[in-house]
Chain A
Amino acid sequence: MVSRVHGRSVLRIEKLRLAVSGRHLFGTLSCELRSGESAVLCGPSGTGKTTLLNCIMGLTTPDDGAIYVAGENILEMPKRRLAEHRRTYIGMVFQFGELLPELSPVENVAIAALLAGQPRRKAYQDAEALLGDLGVPVSGTPTGLLSGGERQRTAVARALITEPVLLLADEPTGALDREARESVADLLFTLPRVRDCALLVVTHDEAVAGRADRRFDLRGGDLAETRA
């Protein structure tokens, strides 16, 4: 495992094994990501990219191996501790944003901070500042009326508001047009350096993949780093 960017280790996967319905999804899968580093996870459909993200979030339990996030093996954590760890260190951007359309963008972002225990004033201020930085209108427009790109940037803001050290994104540009895709990808791949976090993006889009520091291809149950 080689790393070009030198930061602290944020994500380390060791010999991960998982079989689903008798099929070996992961053989002995390993990789490491450091802060300030961005990586893309590519591979044909059905190879287990989203499942790997679920494992990193602790939503799916592998058969064997270890996953260190921020230096601690999440597979050994009790449920409550895992939840707390995820809330503190991991941010996630889903393919379709998974925002609440009836709430305003500020509210969608702020609720993540509020649920993480931040005071109201700080949560709203941070949400407005983040959305402003990311170019999302912070007026009272309901989220449901935003454009696709704006919605995805709002989802990114929600993932960032708790200042996670590891940011995961599952096909964040999959449902966007070219212009919106460019803008969201630009935003995402500047984050590791600006915010000193690690970014792991699942994508099929070669143009998006080309922006990452590193590229992993998931094939035959193992990760192959194809570009350093």
Chain B
Amino acid sequence: MSPLWRQLLRIGFAAGRGAPGSRIRFAGLLLASAVLTTTMLAGLVVVATYDGRAQRDAARGPVPAGDGVRAPAAWLNINRDAVGTVPHSVIHVEPLAESIDPPPGLPRWPERGEVFLSPALLEAGSSERILHRYGTFAGLIGDAGLSSPGERLAYVRPDVDGGYEGWRGIKRFGGVDTMLIGDSRDVAPIGQFLTMLAATLGVAAAVLLVVAVRSGSAARDRRTELLAALGASWRHRALLNVGEGVVPALAGAVIGLTPYLVTLITDVRLPGPGFVIDSDDTRAWLWAVPPTVAGSVVFVLLAIVTLHRVDAAGRSGRPRTFAGRVPRWRLVAGVAGLVGVVITPYLPRMFGFLAYLGGTAVLWAALPSASAIVIQRFGGAMAARAAKAGYVAMLIAGRWTAARPGIVVRLTGVIVIGIGIVVQAQVWTSRLGDSSERALEFQRSLQDSVLVVSSPYLDRESIESFAGDLPVGSALLGVVAPEDETQPRRLWGSCAALDGLVADCAGNRVSLRDGDIRAQTLFGQFRRSGDDVHVRLTNERSAWPRVQELVVVSAVGTGGLAAHVNEEAHRAFAMAELNRPGDSWAQGSNRLTTISAWVVFLVTIVLSVLLTAMGFSSAAEFLTFTAALAPLTVLTERRRFVFGVAAWNLVVPCLIAVSAGVAIAAWQGNFFVAMSRSGELSWSLLVNVAVTAAVFSIAIGVAGGANAVRGAARWRPVAD
């Protein structure tokens, strides 16, 4: 490195420590670098997790024996069960060949009637006595057998004699052409996940970086101009800027690395989605951490260098005003975006969706420019009003706002965008949760009053045993499904069991259509192509033909039976499955609920980052405040007017932005609901967000005023 380079770096380093507002910028760059590094490493965690899962899936997946194979190495049968409404897989196995190894994660093959459970299933199902549901607990499934440490999974070797009809023959566990089992069947593609990460955390990190780099930019811009005038090349200026930013960039990267380091040491459960990051996966990708962190630092330094360009238009020594600086085309683009959103319903479906997305993006992107014009005019009007009335604080604030709308735009932009993101996320998640909410509502009214038990092994003896263990007040019905699918299904049971379900229990013409919610549910569950479900009345179970399913009926609204009946069903019948009508509905939408949890999780982080950016942007403004008002404050010793300036310059525009943000977000949210005909806008959330944003705005004003008063108390004329 030549002496000049070293010298420039050193000057930059010194400037970073000595310049006004250097502490704020240092902290801003430090945080931006930390957030960016964490975001990039979060991407690495995603890659590592998907890679680890793919490897484990390949190692644990059963390999089908194929139809032509007469003697498979093991039988396999997979059921779905649930704890609450969260589904999990129950993998039934029966080894046939001596040579076949147990599935990865199991120390040995389970004995007949034994079960291995994953730690997450054991923990989540403790209230439902999951330990006793599938048989004798033999141990925990090790990490090697799980797609992630949070996976709920059970390996069961049921106690059945012969009769493996419907089971699938497999060659082994692991290898090529394996089947996906467990949670791996419901995983979103990695590209989708990384895109979501980039669109949320990535954008927030970029906003924070730009705000931090430009904080207190006036002094640095002047220095850049000076160096350019002295003949410094782009490289020289870059070196100086790098020297100024390299320490916070490096320190921030070290801080941003910390979460990844934690995932190296232990498994980490993410709050919200509840996903558990496997430390083995992150350790396997440790080699990629240094280049990722280095990439993050380089990105920060590039941003520092490229955001300090020499103004080609040249500058004078006079203060710069921004009147008329906002290009008109941005306003036109904003209007075009608005038109795109508004005409969405009149376009074909695919075009409509694209117009909505594109229009929304352009609308939000043009918002700062549009608000700059509005804020500029607002500032002018404020100053004119203040000049007439003789309000000093309002006059100064109005003139400042008109001369430098960008500062207020940054603040208000973050507010409006933040409110918009919260409301959009709420509307999306309400839309995703709509079907599961309806399913849950149905289940809440029905509770456990209708439970359907199925198993390939429903023999007369087991049914008697099961019936004997049912809770008091519950009765049993049998379901016969003729193989000829044109024939209606038949329910067998006694009038005592149907008591209350149907209005009239006599003869053989009992109709479920006219019964209560349980009868309606049974009708919906078992009807075939419009036919009624036929009911056969008998008081003797011995008169039942061979049944395919059983129904446990209890009084309407009876709760807390499912876990008990599930356990008894498994005790009586091998490979039993218990369903509550609506369960598949609720469980199916559970995946959507998980997506909602991810959206909420990411939006929470994004908002935190945006608020931090707003805080830094404001803090940088306080310095301008302090420097400009200090002499006047010292001369007049009127401190209250400083708070007045802060209120008019920062709080009032922010409060107006809150109102505008709420109005825009409410309109767009309602528009989205009307367009998609699903979801709903939560007004209570909107009010909460508005109140929070308003409190934050006032806090910014108070902090700004207090800072300026403190600064004025320290200020002294220094020329000598």
Contacts and interface: CB of A to CB of B under 8 A. Distances in A.
A112 B390 contact: no
Contacts of B638: 115
B226 interface: no
Given A94-B631, A120-B389, A142-B321, A100 B396 contact: yes
B641 A115 contact: yes
A115 B403 contact: no
Interface string A216-227: 000000000000
Interface stretch (A82-90, A183-191, A192-200): A82-90
B4 interface: no
Interface string A94-122: 11101011110001000110111001110
Interface stretch (A3-11, A32-40, A47-55, A66-74): A47-55
Contacts of A45: 720
A174 B635 contact: no
A171 B392 contact: no
Interface string B617-640: 000000000001001101111100
Could you tell me the dominant secondary structure of chain B's interface residues? helix
Contacts of B636: 87, 112, 115-116
A83 B402 contact: no
Interface in B97-112: none
Contacts of B628: 100
Interface residues of B, number: 28
Interface in B305-335: 318-319, 321
A96 B636 CA distance: 18
A170 B637 CA distance: 19
Interface string A15-50: 000000000000000000000000000000110111
B68 interface: no
Interface string B170-209: 0000000000000000000000000000000000000000
Contacts of A94: 631, 717, 719
A86 B395 contact: no
B716 interface: yes
B387 interface: yes
A145 B321 CA distance: 10
A102 B402 contact: yes
Contacts of A167: none
A114 B392 contact: yes
Interface in B664-720: 716-720
A95 B717 contact: yes
B426 to A, nearest CB: 40
A59 interface: yes
Interface residues of A, number: 41
Contacts of B635: 86-87, 92, 112
B403 A102 contact: yes
Interface in B388-446: 389-390, 392, 395-396, 399-400, 402-404
A174 B638 CA distance: 28
A144 interface: yes
A50 B716 CA distance: 9
A84 B637 contact: yes
Interface string A143-182: 0110000000000000000000000001100100000000
B716 A98 contact: no
A129 B44 CA distance: 70
Contact of A53 (B387, B396, B631, B717): B717
Given A86-B637, A111-B396, A102 B717 contact: no
A50 B318 contact: no
A123 interface: yes
A46 to B, nearest CB: 6
B399 A103 contact: yes
Contacts of A171: 719
Interface string B126-160: 00000000000000000000000000000000000
A165 B390 CA distance: 25
A88 to B, nearest CB: 11
Contacts of A57: 634
A115 B392 contact: yes
B720 A102 contact: no
Interface string A117-149: 001110110000000000000000010110000
Contact of A119 (B318, B390, B392): B390
Contacts of B719: 50, 94-96, 170-171, 174
B395 A107 contact: yes
Chain A CB within 10 A, most for which of B318, B634, B718, B719: B719
Contacts of A124: 390
A45 B719 CA distance: 9
B720 A50 contact: yes
A111 B143 CA distance: 73
B632 A100 contact: yes
A96 B321 CA distance: 20
A171 B390 CA distance: 31
Contacts of B404: 102
Contacts of A86: 635, 637
Contacts of B637: 83-84, 86-87
B720 A144 contact: no
A95 B718 CA distance: 9
A111 B720 contact: no
A217 B458 CA distance: 114
A84 B319 CA distance: 32
B400 A102 contact: yes
A111 B399 CA distance: 13
Given A111-B396, A112-B635, A144 B319 contact: yes
10 contacts: A45-B720, A92-B635, A100-B399, A100-B628, A102-B319, A102-B403, A107-B395, A111-B632, A121-B390, A144-B319
Q: Give the top 5 A-B pairs by smallest Cβ distance, nearest first.
A: A120-B390, A83-B637, A98-B631, A95-B719, A144-B319
Interface of A: 45-46, 48-51, 53-54, 57, 59-60, 83-84, 86-87, 92, 94-96, 98, 100-103, 107, 111-112, 114-116, 119-121, 123-124, 142, 144-145, 170-171, 174
